[in-house]
Amino acid sequence: MRDLDEFTVTDEALEQMARTKNPRLKEIMDAAVRHLHAFARDVNLTPEEWLTGIQFLTQVGHACTPLRQEFILLSDVLGLSAVVNALHDKKARELGSQSSLLGPFYREGAPLLPMGAQIVETPTVEEIVIYGKITDNDGTPLPNALIQVWQTSERGGYDLQERQGESMDMRGNFMTGADGAYHFRTVRPLGYSIPMDGPVGTMVVSQGRHGMRPSHIHCLIGAEGHRELVTALYFGDDPNIDSDTVFGVSQALVVEAKDDPASPIPGLRAVHYDFRLAKAAPGESGRVGADPTKLMKAAE
């Protein structure tokens, strides 16, 4: 037995975990312990501050429900989701269109709609059309590609917020035909604040941040034999386009709704965007995020 100090306790912890059978689990936990211990030493963490951190994480857990994933929100505002997303992209055999964050409001089971349908049940502002093609990296159209889209309303709320999860709105799934083309009608979503009524919102306020996300439409696109694409289209005239609180915007995803003679629905302002899917490596998968209901069921 030896007396431990703030440095030797790290070695002792790693030694106790050395028999971990899963090599990847061992790698991750070894690094987590080293970095957490180094963090505590670096900031000279006090017992009171440590307890405050424990209380904060406890509050984050309590805020999670089948309709709200506060831990994903925490990961997003700390930029961790963006880092994991970038690392995931870096491991791809090839890159297709630029990816973005899935976010905490994705839901499985949105309705499969006919091409050109309106995804907003009762639009109260000008309709716009989003259209383009889904292709591989060589430009070959991908038939039977599934594009899932979701967004806020013109008031800045998702259906999970405006309808408390009782029904779906501002969501839709579309299947491409032989030409790989897609198009749907919607309204310009309003940029919005992340939920500020929970522990993550309190943290953001304490950091002097605005907590706003610029106007955007989420897209999740998949096709047989190709890498699933999680991305979003961001409207460039939003005042928060350069300061997204979850670090999801990239220049390649910035769009504008404008008059477009090539639009499949004449008379509506349009956003034209073609998505490219990369070929998938065997067994490749992984989204940075999930449907909140799936995470809650997995935890039961």
Cα(269)–Cα(257) distance, integer angstroms: 6
Q: Decide if pLDDT at 299 tops 90.
A: no
Residue spans of the domains in the chain: they are 8-45, 70-299
Q: What is residue 284's predicted lDDT score, i.e. its pLDDT?
A: 65
Give the mean model confidence (pLDDT) for residues 98-109.
90
Rg of the chain taking only CA atoms, in angstroms? 22
Q: Decide if pLDDT at 263 tops 60.
A: yes
Q: What is the mean pLDDT of the chain?
A: 93
Q: Place 164 in a pLDDT band, splitting at 50, 70 and 90.
A: confident
Q: What is the model's pTM?
A: 0.90
Cα(18)–Cα(100) distance, integer angstroms: 37
Going edge to edge, which strands form the sheet with 171-175? Answer: 171-175, 146-151, 216-222, 229-235, 254-255
Kindly state the DSSP code that residue 227 receives in the 8-state scheme.
Answer: -
pLDDT digits (tens, 9 = 90+) for 71-80: 999 999 999 9
Q: Decide if pLDDT at 278 tops 70.
A: yes
Closest by CA to 187, choosing from 168, 167, 170, 175, is 170
pLDDT digits (tens, 9 = 90+) for 111-158: 999 999 999 999 999 999 999 999 999 999 999 999 999 999 999 999
pLDDT digits (tens, 9 = 90+) for 185-227: 999 999 999 999 999 999 999 999 999 999 999 999 999 999 9
Give the mean model confidence (pLDDT) for residues 7-15.
95
Closest by CA to 63, choosing from 257, 204, 196, is 196
Cα(221)–Cα(134) distance, integer angstroms: 9
Q: What is residue 300's predicted lDDT score, i.e. its pLDDT?
A: 60
pLDDT digits (tens, 9 = 90+) for 35-78: 999 999 999 999 999 999 999 999 999 999 888 899 999 999 99
Residue with tokens 């930029």: 79
Class of the domain covering 70-299? mainly beta
Cα(128)–Cα(42) distance, integer angstroms: 52
pLDDT digits (tens, 9 = 90+) for 131-141: 999 999 999 99
Higher pLDDT among residues 233 and 6, named by residue: 233
Q: Place 288 in a pLDDT band, splitting at 50, 70 and 90.
A: low
